Structure 1
């Protein structure tokens, strides 16, 4: 069976670098770190994170809607609105039964969990919101997008830890290729810069401890890296069959050419030390996209800034892509937004293809000498490439690689 080309026709993002896709792109290309001390984390072992700049949520979504949504869902809804506008689509005119939503989520809703439990303990049951259950349900983000845009096709939430956003994009591609949908809103969202999550991640030893210099804390592939920086973000991509987009007069931003997925089956938290699953996912994406290793000009890495993950990912890239593509990580600027990261980095990969520009890795001052890769550092690299791979790896051994090509 001939599989149709799947096009990315719209992008929407809210990240620590900006409250829309254009501003985020400029911030990432400028290589300006966004990590800063956060008041809500005061007194904790790690008291900094990367946060989305102020946005007037009630103005954007309406006061009643904003009131009943957790922060992650608010961000997802605003990102989806931007993506649909960018795609030139009006939900009032489409057949909602042929539209789907797939959103990645991991720790979403922790803001509500923590605040409502505090109310329960300090003020009693009568003060707990009657909306607490729908506000914390994992399915909330997809369901709220479906309500907002009258989507009556499949609506799903994917949960593959830090690969969740990429998994959502991959699943959306399948819904389109199989003819179950004509349009899918796909992406990821996360907002868990809360005391409990910050403490839990610090206890795991995964967070950077550079409390004296947060802006320098996220340093992917640097020999002085010591952990990642928590972040919040949301990104939504509009996916359609390329022929359908062209038929309505909309030029695609890029093509989602292939996807590779695997599981390490090794450890609840640590990646396989030899990168077994990462290599499998990389090779799977190449095969699915009908790409040779030499065709890949850029790899948008998972690049978390942790000692083990960066080492394993670097070895996997060197092994599978020996021709030396340009390599970068957006997490030096944006921090690690967990479930949203794969979707954010997919959107940035699309923009790299469109602009022939590859963002630098912020804080990569001294690349680890063990890594033999062509890192983009200092400033963005002007390079026209025809194919980009976007890597996402998550706790539990979840690995997803997305392959994008120029439209």
Structure 2
């Protein structure tokens, strides 16, 4: 069976506009959550989010093309460009991959919601000014699969172009699908991109009406507090993550830097409730990932670290802890959540957090769970509270679970 490795990384999020800056920030416990500036949220019950800062879309698109793409697409292009350069498939002079590999180079994109800001804007235009005033770019700007469409055109990727829209597990599923596509011979290389930008009136208002968000408006840096007793909901984030996957053989042949091998993944459905999480679904996703990983490398495999879904919701965090404890019994891995730093990036969370997990594996340091000041007695694992920790890591897991009861786990191993 073909072995699949990661050879390129790219991200943009509320604490950094590239991989190195972002990882240093999350390890240092920097929090990117602040009062919302993308729209006037002063009358909303929730007024905080993890916004991307200092991003100019003309850095990645021609000025005349910016209006053709929603912000989530623009952020995705930024992350994809970094990952493709990191993997040395493109450079500043040539943004398209070589023709000799383009037909076997695919893209799998992901977003939980897609162009919600564009949908909101054009709905208002339609209502107030009439349908003839709707932008001709409205539909192609807001469709989730256009994230992959724009990027495949940019880089000349002519292999499979697929998309996942599975809420907060979307880009974890895209990553798993990328591995499947390569293993089954559908492509030799896959660019996985997850992107989200739903910090708009409809997005914040909608999640707030569900009572899913933290209302700690007066103290945004302390609002996202995974596994803490005083957690009161998640904080929305935005951003994008991109990973280049290819066969181990091709990576070695071209002398590429190999960050990690993907040795296992698992997917499951709760089949229980559209928004309320349970223990069983996440447990089965992690169990499937672990079973695949052991089949690939041996039964003595040990998971050293888990980057948890850990959103800072009262029920979700507790359920994930129960699932981890049931799977690993008395030998639980070290666990942390980086959502205290960047917020919950919804459909982009899986890709961004996979990058943080892989960087932890490579750098030998675990990002902390910030704001864990008053531990929940029911969340009693080693969560690396407040401060990052050096560790010798060989095998790591990243979890993401979404509305609709959709779950994903992926396992990476150092080569």
TM-score with structure 2 length normalisation? 0.95
The correspondence for 1:177, drawn from 176, 183, 188, is: 183
* Partner residue, 2:238: 232
CA distance in 2, matches of 1:404, 1:294: 12
CA distance in 1, matches of 2:240, 2:126: 30
CA distance in 1, matches of 2:301, 2:277: 26
* Partner residue, 1:89: 89
The aligned length equals 403
CA distance in 2, matches of 1:59, 1:120: 31
Tell me if structure 2 keeps the 8 A contact 1:9–1:245: yes
Q: Where do 5+ consecutive residues of structure 1 fail to align?
A: none
CA distance in 2, matches of 1:381, 1:129: 50
Shift of residue 125, structure 1, vs aligned partner: 3.0
Alignment of 1:216-365 (within 5 A): 216-272=222-278, 275-290=279-294, 295-322=302-329, 323-365=331-373
Alignment of 1:129-144 (within 5 A): 129-144=135-150
Tell me if structure 2 keeps the 8 A contact 1:166–1:187: no
**1:403 aligns to 2:394 (yes or no):** no
Tell me if structure 1 keeps the 8 A contact 2:97–2:157: no
Tell me if structure 2 keeps the 8 A contact 1:286–1:293: no
CA distance in 2, matches of 1:388, 1:187: 20
* Cα distance change, pair 321–187 in 1 and its aligned pair in 2 (3 A): farther
Shift of residue 277, structure 1, vs aligned partner: 1.0
The correspondence for 1:150, drawn from 152, 156, 159, is: 156
CA root-mean-square deviation: 1.3
Q: Secondary structure at the match of 2:103?
A: helix
Alignment of 1:1-150 (within 5 A): 3-39=1-37, 40=39, 41-90=41-90, 91-94=96-99, 95-150=101-156
Greater displacement, 291-300 / 252-261: 291-300
**1:382 aligns to 2:390 (yes or no):** yes
CA distance in 2, matches of 1:117, 1:96: 38
CA distance in 1, matches of 2:34, 2:378: 30
Shift of residue 293, structure 1, vs aligned partner: 8.0
Shift of residue 127, structure 1, vs aligned partner: 2.6
